[in-house]
A = this chain, B = another copy of it.
Amino acid sequence: MFKATIDAYLLKDSIETLSVLVDEARFRISPEGVIVRAVDPANVAMVSFDLTPEAFDDFEANDCELGLDLSRINDILGVADRDDKVQMELDEESKKLKIQIGGFSYTVSLLDPSTIRAEPRIPQLELPAEIVLNGKDLQKAVKAAEKISDHMLLGVEGESFFMEAEGDTDRVKLTMTRDQLIDIKPSEVRSLFSLDYLSDIIKPASKSNEISLHLGNDFPIKINFSIANGNGSIGYLLAPRIESD
């Protein structure tokens, strides 16, 4: 059983955090909320998605699992106004999700969860450096790097966070000192990442005033931020690329 009401814009933003990595997802639903753990088809990035019942206007659920085609949900939400309420109800017999939104009644077929890639195990990593900054600042750095290269070095030097991108002929570097960041737990680290993935992940992350990055040496990066007015959390884990020199 699952029956819930949520603001259209909260649902839109939540779906976006998943759809930058995967097309379909298994939503694990329980009285404690909604959980998704997914990995992109190339096994380069993972997302942990958690939404508490407080993110919803109404939320009633038993344990169940829904398989959803994210682009179909996006299409439906695309017609909604930002302030519309979205009412969802699972019809367990027909295996369909009924969605009421702005006067429209949708009936959406669910995907068989067993046809969707299984949940990944999220590895426990020791990442010594942590940087907290505005999502917009990281977005600006990603956009600057994209003009120069297809990968980007992120790291910490002394008490400063830096990002650097190097193309065949040109190079760009941005250094942010402690006073330009919200917080930093320094440690000398550096890892290289694909800009393809970073520019997808930064789309939802840039909407957050406060994102935290966890970095190691040639280790994955963790990018965490909260969604749904603090009633949900997103964690991305992105594998590093090998630095060639």
Q: Are A79 and B171 in contact (CB under 8 A)?
A: no
Q: How far is the CA of A135 from the CA of B108 in the complex (A)?
A: 27
* Interface-side segment among A7-15, A32-40, A46-54, A139-147: A139-147
Q: Are A172 and B105 in contact (CB under 8 A)?
A: yes
Is A217 part of the contact surface with B, judged by Cβ < 8 Å? no
Q: Are A106 and B169 in contact (CB under 8 A)?
A: no
Size of the chain A interface, CB-CB below 8 angstroms:
28
Is A107 part of the contact surface with B, judged by Cβ < 8 Å? yes
Is A170 part of the contact surface with B, judged by Cβ < 8 Å? yes
Q: Are B75 and A106 in contact (CB under 8 A)?
A: no
Assess A170 versus B105: contact at CB under 8 Å? Given A140-B79, A147-B75. no
Q: How far is the CA of A154 from the CA of B170 in the complex (A)?
A: 44
Using a CB–CB cutoff of 8 Å, the interface residues on chain A facing chain B are 72, 75-76, 78-79, 102-109, 140-141, 143-144, 147-148, 169-176, 180
Q: Which of B78, B109, B141, B180 contacts A170 (CB 8 A)?
A: B109
Q: Are A170 and B104 in contact (CB under 8 A)?
A: no
Q: Are B169 and A79 in contact (CB under 8 A)?
A: no
A-B contact pairs, 27 of them (CB 8 A): A72-B170, A75-B147, A75-B148, A76-B144, A76-B147, A76-B172, A78-B147, A79-B140, A79-B143, A103-B180, A104-B141, A104-B144, A104-B172, A104-B173, A104-B174, A105-B172, A105-B173, A105-B174, A105-B175, A106-B148, A106-B171, A106-B172, A107-B170, A107-B172, A108-B169, A108-B170, A109-B169
Q: Which of B103, B144, B175 contacts A174 (CB 8 A)?
A: B103
Q: How far is the CA of A76 from the CA of B79 in the complex (A)?
A: 33
Tell me whether chain A's interface is mostly helix, strand or loop, or mixed: mixed
Q: Are A103 and B176 in contact (CB under 8 A)?
A: yes
Which B residue's beta carbon lies closest to that of A102?
B140
- Please name all residues of chain B whose beta carbon is closer than 8 Å to the beta carbon of A75 when the two chains form the complex: 147-148
- Please name all residues of chain B whose beta carbon is closer than 8 Å to the beta carbon of A174 when the two chains form the complex: 103-105
Q: Are B107 and A171 in contact (CB under 8 A)?
A: yes
Q: How far is the CA of A169 from the CA of B180 in the complex (A)?
A: 50
- Please name all residues of chain B whose beta carbon is closer than 8 Å to the beta carbon of A79 when the two chains form the complex: 140, 143-144, 147
Given contacts A107-B171, A109-B170, 11 further A-B contacts (CB under 8 A): A76-B147, A79-B143, A103-B180, A104-B141, A104-B144, A104-B172, A104-B174, A105-B173, A105-B174, A107-B170, A109-B169
